[in-house]
Structure 1
Amino acid sequence: MKLLRYGDAGAERPALLDMDGRMRDLSSVIKDVDGTALSPESLKRIAALDPAGLPLVEGSPRIGSAIARPGKFLCVGLNYADHARETGKEPPSEPVLFSKAVTALCGPNDDVEIPRGSDRTDWEVELGVVIGTRAKYVDEASAMDHVAGYALVNDVSERRFQSERGGQWVKGKSHDTFGPVGPWLVTKDEIVDVQNLDLWLDVDGQRRQTGNTRTMIFGVAHLVSYISQFMTLEPSDIIATGTPPGVGLGMKPPTFLSAGQVVTLGATGLGEQRQLMVQA
């Protein structure tokens, strides 16, 4: 099942994608694609609906972030060994955790802003994991029971802000529009093997990233269990699980984004995104 949100920013409505790829409005069933809607009971109720009985969404409205108002937008750094090495770092022995401000969240095809003073805005295609039930001190064997589904994420980053402006990475990760999520949430029952999903990203039609989640250092179950040892994961929390090699920072010479460029990205079963870079 694929759940999504459509409409103007700040006024999105929930929907599901039917078997023919058409949007069906879910406003009569759930208020939004949020923590309440992602509970196992709610997802079962939505899955039991006949999509043909739901209002058809006409036209081509804007698609918003697949998740509304997550409490936490967490990220895992350096989770692909070859990406770690291209940035000049050794693969970590434990997951590297950081966060993006939830105000970075935006729709999958919204414009992405180049921050004022930025000269190192970079791209990162990632698998996003969305929590469905509260997870605290969960073991790896039961970790996936707490996952509602998955979504495509572009972990847009400003490398100078991230590494040269002091403090933690969050400053380089949290500018408005630095967190496109979607186009939809795919419930976990639709993904046969989350550790075998192809990922790709192009800049102006040129392939920059090609990877597969099987090469992650720490898999999804491990990450959910690990993070739950340090903080409680709540329904709708998003975990961006790291990026494969091919980021601008790792190119020779390093190459970064500028206004007017277009980034497109996708992942097996999770859909595609397209973003125009604009100056903030």
Structure 2
Amino acid sequence: MSVRVTVVGCAGSFPRPDSPASCYLLSAQDADGRTWNVAMDLGNGSLGALQRYIALDQLDAVIISHAHADHYLDLIGLHVALRWNPAGWNGRPVPVYAAGMLADRLALIAELPADPGMHREFAFHTWAGHRSERIGPFTVVPYPVDHPVEEAYALRISARGDDGADAVLAYSGDTDACPELDEAAHAACLYLCEAAYHEGRDDAVRGVHLTGRRAGESARTAGAHTLALTHLPVWNDPARSCAEAREVFTGPVDAVAPGDVYVLHGGGRVDRG
């Protein structure tokens, strides 16, 4: 079994002309051969693009790194799709794993009463730092990280690989450098890491985002195999971000783009789909 990671959206802070905000589709088979599809973040603009890869009724769960709009706002559109589809929704409430305040925030934005809010369409689960959650073939562990929001998490996602070893994806969410980020990315096959800042322009700003160099330093410390830079704002140069990372990290470095596919196997092997 392998884990397929499809980049749906990778723009930082708001959609770019060529990309929605953060969203990644994770797909893997369980022991019975059933394919599970999990959306990791669902930022603004991503719900439409997600439907290029799966029908919405194929979505098994949504996992949200933190409650900034560019990482969760299209849950409101998904709620509309579930609630108002004239043909009806043919599945159970979609599990949503996120910070505890998100259910009430979504209801407020959508001008719904908090009770029931979106609880009929979504089954909300609250992250607890370092506590693992099982979603089909995936084990997800959230790690609290350094970003100015009530709860921000890096996510470590693993599934049993072809050779019996775990295929591990680490996702930084939004964060500055911190020990928990390196822990989340330890020996990851693929380290999907934000690099919203540039050295020489933003490196004096701390406690918000990473530069390409700081992402590379985290990958080196964690012993990650492949570093894929994401959350790149419209004003960033992806080549510059990669060059910063390569100054300190000797493994493969990419800047992701919508439609990119990575296939993760046990033992650290990553193929491009």
TM over 0.5, yes or no?
A: no
Q: TM-score, normalised by structure 2?
A: 0.24
Larger RCO: 1 or 2 (CA < 8 Å, sep 6+): 1
